[in-house]
Amino acid sequence: MKLPLACPTLLFLSLVTFAHQSIAAELPAAWKNFQSITLTQPGLIRFSVPLETLDAARPALEDLRIHDATGREVPFDLDRPVQRPVLTAAPRKSSFKVEPNATIATLETGLAQLVVGVTLQTPARDFLKPVRVEGSSDGRLWATIADGLPVFALPGGTTQLRVNFPAGLWPHLRVTLDDRRAAPVPITGITLHPESAQVAPSESLAVEITERAETDRETRLTLRLNGGNLTLAGLGLVTSDALFSRRVTLAERAISEGEVRETPVASGFLYRLALEGRPAVSNVTFAVDVPIQSRELLLTIHNDDNPPLNLTAVEAKRRPVFALLLNDRPGPLHLLSGNVQCPAPLYDLAALRRDLRAAPLVTAAVGALTTNPRFAALDPLALLAAGTTPLDVNPWRFRKAVRLVGPGLQHLELDLEVLSHCAPSFADLRVVLSGQQLPFILERTAIQRSFPVTAIQAEDPRRPKTSRWMLTLPQKSLPLMRLTGETSAPLFRRDVMVFEERADARGEKRRVALGNASWVRTLEHKPGKLDIALNQSPTTDRLWIEVENGDNPPLELTAFIAWHTTARVLFRAAPESAPALYYGNAQAAFPRYDLDLVARQIFSAIKVQAKLGPEEALRGKPLGESLVGTKGNALFWGVLVAVVAVLLFLLNRLLPKPAEPSK
């Protein structure tokens, strides 16, 4: 019987499907993912492990395996190239001299290899100078190989003393510092940098800015990479600013004891400078060869008194990871990943790593990441949506509805009302759904939020040389970090103090200092704000600022701004659910949910910004709290008088009556 034309096609597709299922069925069920590796011929294979594989594997890549079509495990080795340390060498001879407009160092290199740079040594800590580097083969005829490159040292400790130039074989070098604009600085030595024989490879890495927070001091960016478990080859800023210099820090999140903590992983000093009409030189990249586990990073740009950069993007590169294996037969292989429990393999190839790197290589193509059908899929983030234990909410004083705007991991920032009424330690926070606690993670961020403060001048007639302002806050017990203010006065020096008046158990008020500062503005200083760091948070909703004027005219202060810390909770709930945030229980202890076991999945997940509804008061204040304050003062004395009256009445009843006099 002759088959229809479509039958051979269907038969071929069925055979392909059966073969694919047969291969997948032979894969071990403990691995979540596999990828096909297509080889052109047997031999020594070297291929770059895809970024999606690194992201799906464990941080140290100890769960990677390679199997052939028969299910046999194929030994392999991982090569993780990084940039070798900078080579240094001391010149054979060196001499230094200071001329009227320049400091000149003349070097005899004594090197038979290419030189790519020099580094100056100086004890100076506050200078910026252009440098010219010349090379010579005989010490008499000189050729300029670099000109106008900046070297500097800043008072904060940041330095840039290396000068790079095109590689060249130079028996003699001459380094000239231009001293026409500033006094000479002592040069105590110069180090040579020979060319490194090997440059570590790098690949582009996509970066998305998911959040940007600005304060008057810094710009804070939340970055999302398109993969994790990698080594950065550099992180750079893309900005249109022509001239700038900024300190930058890079941090990664980690979970410890149920809280999100930020761990710094890299820091640097980025700049773009132009000296005396020369073309601008820049260094806008840092974090070279920094290992990263999470997809999410926190980049802080310290602006100090400068305006924020016109930042348009952040660029990144990563170091590739190469797999090396010896395959004795052609045919498909499978790269396995995603096993959370297996130990790291021990293969003999590790001892032959140097020989493997030097051998001729055969390339391979790696297919897309595919889910192993035998793997028992389990979403670790589903643990965030599972109710733990019922919660008796009667001891809690406040509640706010949580409004979900989409599915996924919810990111909920606490507002001023919650910060005011919850415990300072946040131990009383709970996310509740239908009487059950939803597991969550507390994130104490380094982001500072601000709000304007209403201030009125409230002078003390007994202190005519002191200016005083009364500031009214929107809530009590806010976690304030600092206060800022402004003045138009051009020249002054003042001592400033911030305090509040706290009432004790009997309602009597006492002054408590919260912070102080010495505020100076001279003709050399550019105008700046009054900035007072608070050494403790206020407990009331009223602050006082005093400025000691001495015999000088008083300052006019305006634009008071309060800055406070922020905190967030991360949790997961179905979008159609209606969870609530409970707070205001001084007796509550920290909850423990063991969510550090899925920390990496939490940080890698896309987060949705949830919103808080209006505050609901569930019960009144405790008696001890209600007896303190302006109104509580009268109440306290009223209760005390009533108690004394009752005691006198009881004593009068208990004491024996005096005997009546006999007639």
pLDDT at 1: 40
Is 12 a member of any domain?
Answer: no
- Write out pLDDT tens, residues 432-448: 998 889 888 888 888 88
Strands 607-609 and 409-413: parallel
pLDDT tens string 17-74: 334 444 444 788 889 999 998 877 777 888 899 999 999 999 899 999 999 888 888 8
The string of pLDDT tens digits covering residues 203-254 is: 999 999 999 999 888 999 999 999 999 999 999 999 999 889 899 999 998 8
Residue 11 lies in a domain: no
The mean pLDDT of 457-482, rounded to a whole number, is 92
What pLDDT score was predicted for residue 336? 95
Highest mean predicted confidence (pLDDT) among 10-14, 223-227, 274-278, 330-334 = 223-227
221 and 267 co-located in one domain: yes
Question: In this structure, which long-range contacts are made by residues 7-15, counting pairs with CB atoms below 8 Å and at least 24 apart in sequence?
Answer: none
How far apart, in Å, are the Cα atoms of 370 and each of 66, 335, 374?
14, 10, 12
- Quick one: which of 641, 663, 584 has its CA closest to 617? 584
Q: Are residues 178 and 98 in the same domain?
A: yes
pLDDT digits (tens, 9 = 90+) for 260-279: 888 999 999 999 887 766 77
The residue out of 194, 214, 242 marking a domain boundary is 194
User: Structural domain tally of the chain?
Assistant: 6
pLDDT of the residue at 341? 81
Q: Please report whether residue 342 resides in a domain.
A: yes
* 46 and 97, same domain (yes or no): no
User: What is the arithmetic mean of pLDDT over 339-364?
Assistant: 74
Domain enclosing residue 253, as ranges? 203-319
pLDDT band at 374 (very low <50, low <70, confident <90, very high): confident
Cβ(370)–Cβ(33) below 8 Å: yes
Tokens of 412: 């909920």
Residue 181 is given by DSSP the state S
What confidence score (pLDDT) does residue 239 get? 94
Residue 657 amino acid letter: K
611 pLDDT more than 80: yes
> Mind listing the pLDDT tens digit for each residue in 572-583?
888 888 999 999
How far apart are the two ends of the chain, measured CA to CA in Å? Answer: 146
Candidate from 19-28, 142-151, 171-180 with smallest mean pLDDT: 19-28
pLDDT at 624: 45
**Tokens representing residue 93 in the block:** 């001879």
Q: What is the DSSP letter of 358?
A: H
Q: How far is CA 54 from CA 138, 293, 372, 505, in A?
A: 53, 10, 17, 60
Distances (CA, A) of 137 to 103, 169, 205, 403: 22, 8, 43, 74
Identify the pLDDT of residue 328: 74
Count how many Cα atoms sit within 13 Å of the Cα of residue 13 in the half-sphere of its side chain.
Answer: 4
Tokens representing residue 393 in the block: 């909410």
Q: Are residues 464 and 557 in the same domain?
A: yes
- Structural tokens at position 41: 């011929």
Question: Does one domain contain both 520 and 536?
Answer: yes
Alpha helices in 300-426 (DSSP H): 353-358, 416-421
589 or 22: whose pLDDT is higher? Answer: 589
Q: Would residue 661 count as lying in a domain?
A: no
pLDDT (0 to 100) of residue 408: 81
Q: Per mean pLDDT, which range of 124-133, 389-398, 626-635 is the poorest? A: 626-635
Q: What's the CATH code of the domain at 246?
A: 2.60.120
The pLDDT score that the predictor gives to residue 357 is 65
Q: Is residue 636 within a helix (H) or strand (E), and if so which, with residue range?
A: helix 630-654
Q: For residue 15, what pLDDT is reported?
A: 37
Residue 663 falls inside a structural domain: no
Radius of gyration of the chain (CA): 35
> Within a domain: residue 656?
no
Residue 8 or residue 402, greater confidence: 402
- Let me know whether 385 and 357 are in one domain: no
pTM: 0.77
Is there a contact between 179 and 127 (Cβ–Cβ < 8 Å)? no
Would residue 5 count as lying in a domain? no
Mind listing the pLDDT tens digit for each residue in 538-568?
Answer: 999 999 999 999 999 998 899 999 999 889 9
Give whichever of 41-50, 444-453, 634-643 has the largest mean pLDDT.
Answer: 444-453
What is the chain's mean pLDDT, rounded? Answer: 84
| Residues 455, 470: Cα–Cα separation, whole Å | 5
Structure confidence by residue, pLDDT tens digits, 270-308: 998 877 667 778 889 999 999 999 899 999 999 988 899
Identify which has the larger pLDDT, 606 or 369.
369
- How many residues are there in the chain? 663
**Has residue 16 got a pLDDT over 60?**
no
Q: How many whole angstroms separate alpha carbon 289 and alpha carbon 587?
A: 47
pLDDT-above-90 percentage for the chain: 48
Answer whether 503's CB lies under 8 Å from 560's CB.
no
Question: Domain check: are 236 and 259 in the same one?
Answer: yes
With respect to residue 657, please indicate whether it lies within any of the assigned structural domains.
no
Do 156 and 258 belong together in one domain?
Answer: no
Q: Is the pLDDT of residue 173 over 50?
A: yes
Residue 258 backbone zone (phi > 0: left; psi -120 to 50: alpha; other: beta): left
The answer to whether 144 and 198 have CB atoms below 8 angstroms apart is no
Q: Are 312 and 333 part of one and the same domain?
A: no
Assess whether 461 and 555 both reside in one domain: yes
- Tell me how far apart the alpha carbons of residues 652 and 263 are, in angstroms, rounded to a whole number: 69
Mean pLDDT calculated for residue range 113-127: 92
Half-sphere exposure for 660 (CA within 13 Å, toward CB): 2
C-alpha separations of 657 from 244, 645, 647, 654, 663 in Å: 92, 19, 17, 9, 18
Residue 521 to residues 82, 486, 493, 532: CA-CA distances in angstroms? 48, 12, 6, 15
Mean pLDDT of 397-423: 92
Is residue 370 within 8 Å of residue 20, measured between CB atoms? no
Pick the more confident residue, 400 or 257: 400
| 108/147 same-domain check | yes
Q: Spell out the residues 6+ positions from residue 136 whose beta carbon is closer than 8 angstroms to its own.
A: 142, 143, 170, 171, 172, 173, 174
pLDDT attached to residue 21 = 41
Q: Can you tell me the distance from the alpha carbon of 612 to that of 413, in angstroms, rounded to the nearest whole number?
A: 8
Residue 388 CA to residue 654 CA, distance in Å, equals 57
The pLDDT value recorded for residue 397 is 95
Determine phi and psi for 421, rounding to 5 degrees.
-100, -15
Tell me, yes or no, whether 454 and 559 share the same domain. Answer: yes
Higher pLDDT, 206 or 386: 206
Give the DSSP H/E element, type plus range, for residue 567: strand 558-572
Q: Is the pLDDT of residue 361 over 70?
A: no
Section 381-399 average pLDDT: 77
- Report which DSSP code applies to 89: B
Query: What is the helix, strand, coil percentage profile of the chain, to 5?
Result: 15, 45, 40
